[in-house]
Protein backbone atom coordinates (compact mmCIF):
# COMPACT_ATOMS: atom_id res chain seq x y z
CA UNK A 1 0.00 0.00 0.00
CA UNK A 2 1.50 3.33 -1.08
CA UNK A 3 0.23 6.29 0.92
CA UNK A 4 0.03 9.53 -1.02
CA UNK A 5 -0.45 13.14 -0.03
CA UNK A 6 -1.59 15.34 -2.88
CA UNK A 7 -0.60 18.98 -2.61
CA UNK A 8 -2.62 21.36 -4.73
CA UNK A 9 -6.30 21.37 -5.64
CA UNK A 10 -6.16 22.09 -9.37
CA UNK A 11 -7.02 19.95 -12.37
CA UNK A 12 -3.99 17.62 -12.23
CA UNK A 13 -4.51 16.96 -8.52
CA UNK A 14 -8.22 16.27 -9.13
CA UNK A 15 -7.51 13.82 -11.93
CA UNK A 16 -4.79 12.00 -9.96
CA UNK A 17 -6.98 11.74 -6.90
CA UNK A 18 -9.78 10.36 -9.09
CA UNK A 19 -7.43 7.82 -10.71
CA UNK A 20 -5.96 6.63 -7.40
CA UNK A 21 -9.39 6.33 -5.80
CA UNK A 22 -10.14 3.14 -7.75
CA UNK A 23 -6.88 1.42 -6.81
CA UNK A 24 -6.41 -0.88 -3.83
CA UNK A 25 -2.63 -0.60 -3.70
CA UNK A 26 -2.66 3.20 -3.36
CA UNK A 27 -4.37 5.39 -0.80
CA UNK A 28 -4.61 9.17 -0.97
CA UNK A 29 -4.47 9.99 2.73
CA UNK A 30 -4.83 13.73 2.34
CA UNK A 31 -5.21 16.50 -0.20
CA UNK A 32 -3.68 19.79 0.88
CA UNK A 33 -4.45 23.12 -0.64
CA UNK A 34 -1.20 25.02 -1.11
CA UNK A 35 -2.62 27.73 1.15
CA UNK A 36 -3.03 25.64 4.31
CA UNK A 37 0.06 23.43 4.13
CA UNK A 38 1.77 24.84 7.20
CA UNK A 39 -1.31 24.24 9.32
CA UNK A 40 -1.79 20.64 8.28
CA UNK A 41 1.69 19.35 7.43
CA UNK A 42 2.04 17.94 10.93
CA UNK A 43 -0.74 15.41 10.27
CA UNK A 44 0.96 13.55 7.48
CA UNK A 45 3.49 11.26 9.12
CA UNK A 46 2.15 8.20 7.37
CA UNK A 47 2.71 9.57 3.85
CA UNK A 48 5.11 7.70 1.53
CA UNK A 49 5.14 10.29 -1.23
CA UNK A 50 4.13 13.94 -1.53
CA UNK A 51 2.87 14.81 -4.99
CA UNK A 52 3.19 18.55 -5.51
CA UNK A 53 0.63 19.41 -8.19
CA UNK A 54 0.74 23.19 -8.10
CA UNK A 55 1.59 25.86 -10.68
CA UNK A 56 5.22 25.87 -11.92
CA UNK A 57 6.03 29.07 -10.06
CA UNK A 58 4.80 27.72 -6.73
CA UNK A 59 6.65 24.37 -6.81
CA UNK A 60 9.82 25.68 -5.23
CA UNK A 61 8.27 27.42 -2.22
CA UNK A 62 5.52 24.86 -1.60
CA UNK A 63 7.93 21.92 -1.64
CA UNK A 64 10.11 23.53 1.07
CA UNK A 65 7.45 22.58 3.59
CA UNK A 66 8.10 18.86 3.14
CA UNK A 67 11.89 18.64 3.44
CA UNK A 68 11.77 17.70 7.10
CA UNK A 69 9.51 14.74 6.49
CA UNK A 70 12.35 12.86 4.75
CA UNK A 71 9.72 11.31 2.52
CA UNK A 72 9.79 11.33 -1.26
CA UNK A 73 8.68 14.69 -2.73
CA UNK A 74 7.77 14.82 -6.44
CA UNK A 75 6.27 17.41 -8.74
CA UNK A 76 4.03 16.84 -11.77
CA UNK A 77 5.25 19.56 -14.11
CA UNK A 78 6.45 18.90 -17.64
CA UNK A 79 8.60 21.98 -17.91
CA UNK A 80 10.29 22.24 -14.50
CA UNK A 81 13.54 20.42 -13.71
CA UNK A 82 13.89 18.09 -10.74
CA UNK A 83 16.14 20.82 -9.29
CA UNK A 84 13.08 23.02 -8.72
CA UNK A 85 12.62 20.84 -5.64
CA UNK A 86 14.85 21.47 -2.59
CA UNK A 87 18.26 19.78 -2.84
CA UNK A 88 17.95 18.46 0.71
CA UNK A 89 14.73 16.57 -0.06
CA UNK A 90 14.36 13.07 -1.49
CA UNK A 91 13.09 14.32 -4.80
CA UNK A 92 11.52 13.04 -7.97
CA UNK A 93 9.08 13.63 -10.85
CA UNK A 94 5.68 12.14 -11.61
CA UNK A 95 4.57 13.75 -14.87
CA UNK A 96 1.40 12.47 -16.55
CA UNK A 97 1.71 13.49 -20.20
CA UNK A 98 -1.84 14.47 -21.05
CA UNK A 99 -4.09 17.50 -21.39
CA UNK A 100 -6.52 17.71 -18.50
CA UNK A 101 -9.69 19.75 -18.35
CA UNK A 102 -12.06 20.13 -15.44
CA UNK A 103 -15.00 17.79 -15.83
CA UNK A 104 -13.63 15.79 -18.76
CA UNK A 105 -12.79 12.21 -17.83
CA UNK A 106 -9.64 10.65 -19.21
CA UNK A 107 -8.57 7.01 -19.38
CA UNK A 108 -5.41 6.94 -17.25
CA UNK A 109 -4.40 3.44 -18.34
CA UNK A 110 -2.95 4.72 -21.63
CA UNK A 111 -1.47 7.99 -20.36
CA UNK A 112 2.34 8.03 -20.44
CA UNK A 113 3.71 8.70 -16.96
CA UNK A 114 7.23 10.12 -17.02
CA UNK A 115 9.08 9.35 -13.80
CA UNK A 116 12.46 10.46 -12.50
CA UNK A 117 14.24 10.16 -9.15
CA UNK A 118 17.76 10.50 -7.77
CA UNK A 119 17.74 7.28 -5.76
CA UNK A 120 16.96 3.89 -7.23
CA UNK A 121 14.57 2.98 -4.40
CA UNK A 122 12.61 6.18 -5.03
CA UNK A 123 12.41 5.40 -8.75
CA UNK A 124 11.05 1.95 -7.85
CA UNK A 125 8.41 3.51 -5.62
CA UNK A 126 7.35 5.89 -8.40
CA UNK A 127 7.27 3.01 -10.87
CA UNK A 128 4.96 1.07 -8.56
CA UNK A 129 2.75 4.12 -8.10
CA UNK A 130 2.60 4.80 -11.85
CA UNK A 131 1.90 1.13 -12.68
CA UNK A 132 -1.12 1.24 -10.40
CA UNK A 133 -2.88 3.62 -12.80
CA UNK A 134 -1.14 3.30 -16.20
CA UNK A 135 0.43 0.74 -18.53
CA UNK A 136 2.65 3.35 -20.13
CA UNK A 137 5.57 4.21 -17.82
CA UNK A 138 8.75 5.95 -18.96
CA UNK A 139 11.92 6.72 -17.03
CA UNK A 140 12.80 10.17 -18.38
CA UNK A 141 15.53 12.67 -17.45
CA UNK A 142 14.71 16.32 -16.71
CA UNK A 143 16.39 17.31 -19.97
CA UNK A 144 14.34 14.83 -22.01
CA UNK A 145 11.20 15.91 -20.19
CA UNK A 146 11.81 19.53 -21.21
CA UNK A 147 11.86 18.36 -24.85
CA UNK A 148 8.69 16.37 -24.35
CA UNK A 149 6.98 19.39 -22.84
CA UNK A 150 8.08 21.57 -25.74
CA UNK A 151 6.82 18.92 -28.20
CA UNK A 152 3.53 18.76 -26.29
CA UNK A 153 3.05 22.49 -26.84
CA UNK A 154 3.24 21.84 -30.58
CA UNK A 155 0.97 18.76 -30.70
CA UNK A 156 -1.56 20.04 -28.18
CA UNK A 157 -1.58 23.83 -27.63
CA UNK A 158 -0.68 24.81 -31.17
CA UNK A 159 -2.79 22.09 -32.79
CA UNK A 160 -5.79 23.19 -30.73
CA UNK A 161 -5.16 26.73 -31.95
CA UNK A 162 -5.32 25.45 -35.56
CA UNK A 163 -8.79 24.13 -34.65
CA UNK A 164 -9.65 27.54 -33.19
CA UNK A 165 -8.68 29.40 -36.37
CA UNK A 166 -10.65 26.90 -38.48
CA UNK A 167 -13.62 27.36 -36.15
CA UNK A 168 -13.45 31.12 -36.69
CA UNK A 169 -13.32 30.72 -40.48
CA UNK A 170 -16.32 28.35 -40.39
CA UNK A 171 -18.36 30.71 -38.20
CA UNK A 172 -17.69 33.64 -40.49
CA UNK A 173 -18.81 31.66 -43.53
CA UNK A 174 -21.89 29.91 -42.14
CA UNK A 175 -20.34 26.47 -42.25
CA UNK A 176 -20.77 24.11 -39.27
CA UNK A 177 -17.37 23.44 -37.63
CA UNK A 178 -18.59 19.84 -37.02
CA UNK A 179 -18.07 19.12 -40.71
CA UNK A 180 -14.30 19.10 -39.97
CA UNK A 181 -14.48 16.53 -37.15
CA UNK A 182 -13.86 13.36 -39.24
CA UNK A 183 -10.86 15.10 -40.85
CA UNK A 184 -9.48 16.08 -37.43
CA UNK A 185 -9.88 12.53 -36.14
CA UNK A 186 -8.23 11.02 -39.23
CA UNK A 187 -5.34 13.53 -39.08
CA UNK A 188 -4.47 12.15 -35.64
CA UNK A 189 -5.27 8.51 -36.48
CA UNK A 190 -3.01 8.50 -39.55
CA UNK A 191 0.01 8.51 -37.22
CA UNK A 192 -0.73 4.86 -36.41
CA UNK A 193 0.56 3.97 -39.88
CA UNK A 194 2.50 6.94 -41.22
CA UNK A 195 5.16 9.31 -39.91
CA UNK A 196 4.13 13.00 -39.96
CA UNK A 197 6.63 13.44 -42.77
CA UNK A 198 4.87 10.79 -44.88
CA UNK A 199 1.39 12.02 -43.93
CA UNK A 200 1.96 15.63 -45.06
CA UNK A 201 -0.27 16.78 -47.92
CA UNK A 202 -1.65 20.13 -49.10
CA UNK A 203 -0.77 23.22 -51.11
CA UNK A 204 2.39 24.06 -49.12
CA UNK A 205 3.85 20.58 -49.63
CA UNK A 206 2.88 20.63 -53.35
CA UNK A 207 4.22 24.17 -53.71
CA UNK A 208 0.83 25.11 -55.20
CA UNK A 209 1.14 28.91 -55.38
CA UNK A 210 -2.31 29.47 -56.90
CA UNK A 211 -4.13 27.83 -53.99
CA UNK A 212 -1.85 29.47 -51.42
CA UNK A 213 -2.64 32.91 -52.88
CA UNK A 214 -6.37 32.13 -52.94
CA UNK A 215 -6.27 31.09 -49.28
CA UNK A 216 -4.30 34.16 -48.20
CA UNK A 217 -6.78 36.45 -49.92
CA UNK A 218 -9.66 34.78 -48.03
CA UNK A 219 -8.03 35.31 -44.61
CA UNK A 220 -9.12 38.64 -43.16
CA UNK A 221 -7.42 38.36 -39.78
CA UNK A 222 -3.84 39.70 -40.12
CA UNK A 223 -2.39 37.32 -37.56
CA UNK A 224 -4.10 34.28 -39.13
CA UNK A 225 -2.56 35.33 -42.44
CA UNK A 226 0.84 35.46 -40.74
CA UNK A 227 0.23 32.00 -39.23
CA UNK A 228 -0.64 30.67 -42.70
CA UNK A 229 2.50 32.17 -44.24
CA UNK A 230 4.87 31.03 -41.50
CA UNK A 231 3.55 27.45 -41.50
CA UNK A 232 3.60 27.29 -45.29
CA UNK A 233 7.25 28.37 -45.25
CA UNK A 234 8.07 25.83 -42.54
CA UNK A 235 6.41 22.97 -44.48
CA UNK A 236 8.22 23.99 -47.65
CA UNK A 237 11.58 24.04 -45.87
CA UNK A 238 10.86 20.63 -44.35
CA UNK A 239 9.92 19.05 -47.65
CA UNK A 240 12.03 21.13 -50.01
CA UNK A 241 15.21 19.58 -48.69
CA UNK A 242 14.06 16.14 -49.80
CA UNK A 243 12.95 17.05 -53.33
CA UNK B 1 -28.49 1.99 -60.44
CA UNK B 2 -26.22 5.01 -60.94
CA UNK B 3 -23.51 4.43 -63.54
CA UNK B 4 -20.28 6.29 -62.85
CA UNK B 5 -17.21 7.03 -64.91
CA UNK B 6 -14.20 7.98 -62.81
CA UNK B 7 -11.70 10.22 -64.55
CA UNK B 8 -8.23 10.24 -63.02
CA UNK B 9 -6.21 7.49 -61.41
CA UNK B 10 -4.91 9.19 -58.28
CA UNK B 11 -5.66 8.65 -54.61
CA UNK B 12 -9.17 10.19 -54.56
CA UNK B 13 -10.23 8.18 -57.61
CA UNK B 14 -8.83 4.99 -56.03
CA UNK B 15 -10.69 5.57 -52.77
CA UNK B 16 -13.98 6.40 -54.52
CA UNK B 17 -13.73 3.38 -56.76
CA UNK B 18 -13.06 1.24 -53.69
CA UNK B 19 -16.01 2.74 -51.80
CA UNK B 20 -18.45 2.32 -54.74
CA UNK B 21 -17.31 -1.26 -55.38
CA UNK B 22 -19.23 -2.51 -52.31
CA UNK B 23 -22.49 -0.80 -53.27
CA UNK B 24 -25.27 -2.42 -55.31
CA UNK B 25 -26.94 0.83 -56.31
CA UNK B 26 -23.79 2.25 -57.94
CA UNK B 27 -21.62 0.81 -60.69
CA UNK B 28 -18.28 2.23 -61.77
CA UNK B 29 -18.43 1.39 -65.46
CA UNK B 30 -15.02 2.76 -66.34
CA UNK B 31 -11.98 4.48 -64.89
CA UNK B 32 -10.20 6.73 -67.35
CA UNK B 33 -6.69 7.99 -66.96
CA UNK B 34 -6.61 11.68 -67.86
CA UNK B 35 -4.08 10.79 -70.57
CA UNK B 36 -6.30 8.46 -72.66
CA UNK B 37 -9.67 10.23 -72.39
CA UNK B 38 -9.94 11.15 -76.05
CA UNK B 39 -9.37 7.59 -77.13
CA UNK B 40 -11.97 6.04 -74.85
CA UNK B 41 -14.62 8.74 -74.36
CA UNK B 42 -16.71 7.24 -77.13
CA UNK B 43 -17.31 4.08 -75.08
CA UNK B 44 -19.15 5.72 -72.23
CA UNK B 45 -22.67 6.33 -73.44
CA UNK B 46 -24.20 4.56 -70.48
CA UNK B 47 -22.61 6.85 -67.88
CA UNK B 48 -24.88 8.91 -65.59
CA UNK B 49 -22.14 10.97 -64.02
CA UNK B 50 -18.52 11.72 -64.78
CA UNK B 51 -16.44 12.25 -61.66
CA UNK B 52 -13.34 14.25 -62.56
CA UNK B 53 -10.80 13.38 -59.85
CA UNK B 54 -7.68 15.00 -61.28
CA UNK B 55 -5.33 17.73 -60.05
CA UNK B 56 -6.87 21.21 -59.69
CA UNK B 57 -4.96 22.57 -62.67
CA UNK B 58 -6.17 19.79 -64.98
CA UNK B 59 -9.91 20.01 -64.12
CA UNK B 60 -10.71 22.65 -66.70
CA UNK B 61 -9.08 21.00 -69.70
CA UNK B 62 -9.99 17.41 -68.81
CA UNK B 63 -13.66 18.24 -68.25
CA UNK B 64 -13.94 19.78 -71.75
CA UNK B 65 -13.94 16.26 -73.16
CA UNK B 66 -17.31 15.44 -71.60
CA UNK B 67 -19.44 18.43 -72.62
CA UNK B 68 -20.92 16.65 -75.61
CA UNK B 69 -22.17 13.73 -73.54
CA UNK B 70 -24.80 15.96 -71.91
CA UNK B 71 -24.35 13.90 -68.75
CA UNK B 72 -23.59 15.33 -65.32
CA UNK B 73 -19.90 16.28 -64.91
CA UNK B 74 -18.57 16.89 -61.39
CA UNK B 75 -15.17 17.49 -59.87
CA UNK B 76 -13.91 16.45 -56.42
CA UNK B 77 -11.76 19.43 -55.50
CA UNK B 78 -12.19 21.41 -52.30
CA UNK B 79 -10.61 24.57 -53.57
CA UNK B 80 -11.94 24.89 -57.15
CA UNK B 81 -15.25 26.59 -57.92
CA UNK B 82 -17.99 24.90 -59.88
CA UNK B 83 -17.11 27.39 -62.65
CA UNK B 84 -13.85 25.53 -63.28
CA UNK B 85 -16.09 23.15 -65.23
CA UNK B 86 -17.28 24.19 -68.73
CA UNK B 87 -20.37 26.44 -68.63
CA UNK B 88 -22.05 24.40 -71.35
CA UNK B 89 -21.88 21.19 -69.30
CA UNK B 90 -24.36 19.95 -66.69
CA UNK B 91 -21.98 20.57 -63.84
CA UNK B 92 -21.62 19.84 -60.15
CA UNK B 93 -19.33 19.06 -57.21
CA UNK B 94 -18.73 15.85 -55.28
CA UNK B 95 -16.15 16.73 -52.63
CA UNK B 96 -15.30 14.13 -49.98
CA UNK B 97 -13.84 16.11 -47.07
CA UNK B 98 -11.10 13.81 -45.89
CA UNK B 99 -7.34 13.28 -46.14
CA UNK B 100 -6.54 10.31 -48.35
CA UNK B 101 -3.28 8.42 -48.53
CA UNK B 102 -2.38 5.56 -50.82
CA UNK B 103 -2.80 2.26 -49.02
CA UNK B 104 -4.57 3.62 -45.94
CA UNK B 105 -8.20 2.53 -45.73
CA UNK B 106 -10.79 5.03 -44.58
CA UNK B 107 -14.35 4.48 -43.38
CA UNK B 108 -16.42 6.36 -45.97
CA UNK B 109 -19.65 6.16 -43.97
CA UNK B 110 -18.61 9.06 -41.70
CA UNK B 111 -16.87 11.21 -44.33
CA UNK B 112 -18.72 14.46 -45.07
CA UNK B 113 -19.54 14.66 -48.78
CA UNK B 114 -20.10 18.22 -49.96
CA UNK B 115 -22.32 18.32 -53.03
CA UNK B 116 -23.33 21.16 -55.33
CA UNK B 117 -25.15 21.34 -58.67
CA UNK B 118 -26.90 23.95 -60.80
CA UNK B 119 -30.04 21.90 -61.51
CA UNK B 120 -32.20 20.37 -58.83
CA UNK B 121 -32.36 16.99 -60.57
CA UNK B 122 -28.55 16.89 -60.68
CA UNK B 123 -28.35 17.72 -56.98
CA UNK B 124 -30.77 14.84 -56.32
CA UNK B 125 -28.58 12.47 -58.35
CA UNK B 126 -25.49 13.55 -56.39
CA UNK B 127 -27.37 13.17 -53.11
CA UNK B 128 -28.32 9.62 -54.05
CA UNK B 129 -24.74 8.85 -55.07
CA UNK B 130 -23.34 10.33 -51.85
CA UNK B 131 -25.89 8.52 -49.67
CA UNK B 132 -24.77 5.23 -51.15
CA UNK B 133 -21.40 5.56 -49.41
CA UNK B 134 -21.84 8.09 -46.56
CA UNK B 135 -24.29 9.18 -43.87
CA UNK B 136 -22.87 12.69 -43.78
CA UNK B 137 -24.06 14.68 -46.83
CA UNK B 138 -23.96 18.48 -47.07
CA UNK B 139 -25.28 20.77 -49.77
CA UNK B 140 -22.56 23.42 -49.92
CA UNK B 141 -22.00 26.40 -52.22
CA UNK B 142 -18.67 26.97 -53.99
CA UNK B 143 -17.99 29.92 -51.69
CA UNK B 144 -18.64 27.91 -48.54
CA UNK B 145 -16.54 25.07 -49.92
CA UNK B 146 -13.60 27.45 -50.38
CA UNK B 147 -13.85 28.27 -46.65
CA UNK B 148 -14.06 24.62 -45.74
CA UNK B 149 -10.97 23.90 -47.82
CA UNK B 150 -9.07 26.73 -46.14
CA UNK B 151 -10.18 25.44 -42.72
CA UNK B 152 -9.07 21.95 -43.71
CA UNK B 153 -5.57 23.27 -44.41
CA UNK B 154 -5.44 24.47 -40.79
CA UNK B 155 -6.87 21.33 -39.13
CA UNK B 156 -5.06 18.85 -41.36
CA UNK B 157 -1.98 20.20 -43.18
CA UNK B 158 -0.87 22.61 -40.47
CA UNK B 159 -1.78 20.28 -37.61
CA UNK B 160 0.21 17.50 -39.25
CA UNK B 161 3.15 19.89 -39.51
CA UNK B 162 2.90 20.50 -35.74
CA UNK B 163 3.34 16.72 -35.38
CA UNK B 164 6.32 16.89 -37.73
CA UNK B 165 8.09 19.59 -35.68
CA UNK B 166 7.41 17.63 -32.48
CA UNK B 167 8.78 14.51 -34.15
CA UNK B 168 11.98 16.38 -35.01
CA UNK B 169 12.36 17.66 -31.42
CA UNK B 170 11.84 14.13 -30.07
CA UNK B 171 14.38 12.61 -32.47
CA UNK B 172 17.01 15.17 -31.55
CA UNK B 173 16.53 14.48 -27.83
CA UNK B 174 16.30 10.69 -27.87
CA UNK B 175 12.66 10.61 -26.89
CA UNK B 176 10.26 8.23 -28.69
CA UNK B 177 7.67 10.25 -30.65
CA UNK B 178 5.13 7.54 -29.70
CA UNK B 179 5.02 8.97 -26.17
CA UNK B 180 2.97 11.87 -27.61
CA UNK B 181 0.29 9.68 -29.24
CA UNK B 182 -2.24 9.63 -26.37
CA UNK B 183 -1.93 13.43 -26.12
CA UNK B 184 -2.51 13.80 -29.87
CA UNK B 185 -5.57 11.55 -29.72
CA UNK B 186 -7.02 13.39 -26.72
CA UNK B 187 -6.37 16.81 -28.32
CA UNK B 188 -8.69 15.77 -31.17
CA UNK B 189 -11.18 13.89 -28.96
CA UNK B 190 -11.68 16.88 -26.63
CA UNK B 191 -13.65 18.60 -29.39
CA UNK B 192 -16.51 16.20 -28.70
CA UNK B 193 -17.18 18.13 -25.49
CA UNK B 194 -15.38 21.46 -25.71
CA UNK B 195 -14.99 24.20 -28.29
CA UNK B 196 -11.36 24.86 -29.33
CA UNK B 197 -11.64 28.14 -27.44
CA UNK B 198 -12.55 26.31 -24.22
CA UNK B 199 -9.98 23.56 -24.79
CA UNK B 200 -7.00 25.93 -25.14
CA UNK B 201 -4.32 25.50 -22.47
CA UNK B 202 -0.56 26.12 -22.27
CA UNK B 203 2.02 28.86 -21.71
CA UNK B 204 0.74 31.17 -24.49
CA UNK B 205 -2.80 31.15 -23.09
CA UNK B 206 -1.50 31.63 -19.52
CA UNK B 207 0.88 34.34 -20.70
CA UNK B 208 3.68 32.40 -18.98
CA UNK B 209 6.76 34.29 -20.20
CA UNK B 210 9.27 32.15 -18.30
CA UNK B 211 8.18 28.93 -20.01
CA UNK B 212 7.89 30.62 -23.39
CA UNK B 213 11.48 31.89 -23.11
CA UNK B 214 12.68 28.44 -22.00
CA UNK B 215 10.99 26.84 -25.00
CA UNK B 216 12.38 29.38 -27.48
CA UNK B 217 15.90 28.83 -26.17
CA UNK B 218 15.53 25.06 -26.74
CA UNK B 219 14.45 25.46 -30.38
CA UNK B 220 17.49 25.39 -32.65
CA UNK B 221 15.69 25.54 -35.98
CA UNK B 222 15.11 29.21 -36.88
CA UNK B 223 11.85 28.56 -38.68
CA UNK B 224 10.47 26.41 -35.83
CA UNK B 225 11.29 29.31 -33.50
CA UNK B 226 9.35 31.61 -35.80
CA UNK B 227 6.43 29.16 -35.84
CA UNK B 228 6.45 29.08 -32.02
CA UNK B 229 6.49 32.89 -31.80
CA UNK B 230 3.76 33.46 -34.40
CA UNK B 231 1.42 30.86 -32.87
CA UNK B 232 2.05 32.17 -29.36
CA UNK B 233 1.13 35.67 -30.54
CA UNK B 234 -1.98 34.37 -32.29
CA UNK B 235 -3.16 32.48 -29.17
CA UNK B 236 -2.54 35.53 -27.00
CA UNK B 237 -4.53 37.76 -29.35
CA UNK B 238 -7.37 35.22 -29.42
CA UNK B 239 -7.57 34.93 -25.66
CA UNK B 240 -6.37 38.39 -24.68
CA UNK B 241 -9.52 39.95 -26.10
CA UNK B 242 -11.66 37.94 -23.73
CA UNK B 243 -9.68 38.61 -20.52
Q: Cβ A150–B110 below 8 Å, yes or no? A: no
- Give every strand in the sheet of A2-7, ordered side by side: A26-32, A2-7, A49-52, A72-75, A90-96, A113-117, A137-139
pLDDT, tens only, A5-35: 999 999 999 999 999 998 999 999 999 987 7
pLDDT for B41 equals 53
Cα–Cα dist B136/A47, whole Å: 54
Answer for the pair A196, B200: CB distance below 8 angstroms, yes or no.
Answer: no
**Would you call A221 exposed, middle or buried from its count of C-beta atoms within 10 A (0-12, 13-18, 19+)?**
middle
Please provide the average confidence, as pLDDT, over all residues in chain B: 93
Using the 3D structure, point to which of B140, B168, B194 is the last residue of a domain: B140
Q: How far is CA B216 from CA A73, A147, B225, B239, in A?
A: 29, 11, 6, 21
* In a shared domain, residues A27 and A110: yes
Answer for the pair B53, B76: CB distance below 8 angstroms, yes or no.
Answer: yes
| Domains identified in chain A, total number | 2
* In a shared domain, residues B86 and B184: no
**DSSP codes joined into one string, A33-72:** -TTSHHHHGGG-TT-SEEEE-S-HHHHHHHHHTTTTTTSE
Domain of residue B173, CATH code: 1.10.1040.20
Residues in chain A: 243
* In a shared domain, residues A64 and A125: yes
Domain of residue B25, CATH code: 3.40.50.720
pLDDT, tens only, B14-23: 999 999 998 9
The values of phi and psi at residue A102, to 5°, are -55, 130
Cα–Cα dist A225/A119, whole Å: 50
pLDDT, tens only, A100-129: 888 888 899 999 999 999 999 999 999 999
CB of B121 within 8 Å of any CB in chain A?
no
* In a shared domain, residues B174 and B134: no
* In a shared domain, residues A75 and A93: yes
* In a shared domain, residues B222 and B112: no
pLDDT for B243 equals 40
Residues in chain B: 243
| Residue A218 pLDDT exceeds 70 | yes
Full domain range(s) for residue B10: 2-140
**Would you call A174 exposed, middle or buried from its count of C-beta atoms within 10 A (0-12, 13-18, 19+)?**
exposed
| Residue B37 pLDDT exceeds 70 | no
Confidence of residue B38 (pLDDT cuts 50, 70, 90): low
pLDDT for B68 equals 86
Cα–Cα dist A101/B199, whole Å: 7
* In a shared domain, residues B96 and B167: no
User: Would you give the distance in Å from CA A18 to the centre of its chain?
Assistant: 17
Using the 3D structure, point to which of A113, A140, A167 is the last residue of a domain: A140
* In a shared domain, residues B67 and B181: no
| Residue B54 pLDDT exceeds 80 | yes
pLDDT for A69 equals 85
Q: Which of A146, A155, A212 to mutate to test the interface with B (most CBs of B within 10 A)?
A: A155
pLDDT, tens only, B163-220: 999 999 999 999 999 999 999 999 999 999 999 999 999 999 999 999 999 999 999 9
Answer for the pair A147, A97: CB distance below 8 angstroms, yes or no.
Answer: no
Q: What is the DSSP code (8-state) at residue A157? A: I
* In a shared domain, residues B172 and B94: no
* In a shared domain, residues B22 and B96: yes
* In a shared domain, residues B178 and B91: no
**CB contact residues (below 8 A), chain B span 17-36, against chain A:** none
The ipTM estimated for the assembled molecules is 0.93
Confidence of residue A242 (pLDDT cuts 50, 70, 90): very low
3-state helix, strand, coil in chain A (%, to 5): 55, 15, 30
Q: Which of B56, B158, B215 sits opposite A153 (nearest CB)?
A: B215
pLDDT, tens only, A35-72: 766 555 555 678 999 999 999 999 999 999 888 888 99
* In a shared domain, residues A100 and A215: no
Using a CB-CB cut-off of 8 Å, the residues of chain A touching B210 are 56-57
Using the 3D structure, point to which of A114, A140, A166 is the last residue of a domain: A140
pLDDT for A126 equals 98
Chain A / chain B CB contacts < 8 angstroms = 300
| Residue A141 pLDDT exceeds 80 | yes
Answer for the pair A148, B180: CB distance below 8 angstroms, yes or no.
Answer: yes
Amino acid sequence: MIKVTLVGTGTVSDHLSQAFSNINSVRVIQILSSRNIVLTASLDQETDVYIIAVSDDAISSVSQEFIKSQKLVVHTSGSMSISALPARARRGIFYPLQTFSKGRKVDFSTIPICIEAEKLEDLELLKELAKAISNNIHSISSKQRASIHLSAVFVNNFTNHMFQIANRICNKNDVPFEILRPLITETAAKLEELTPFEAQTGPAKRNDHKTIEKHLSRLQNTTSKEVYQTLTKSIQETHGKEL
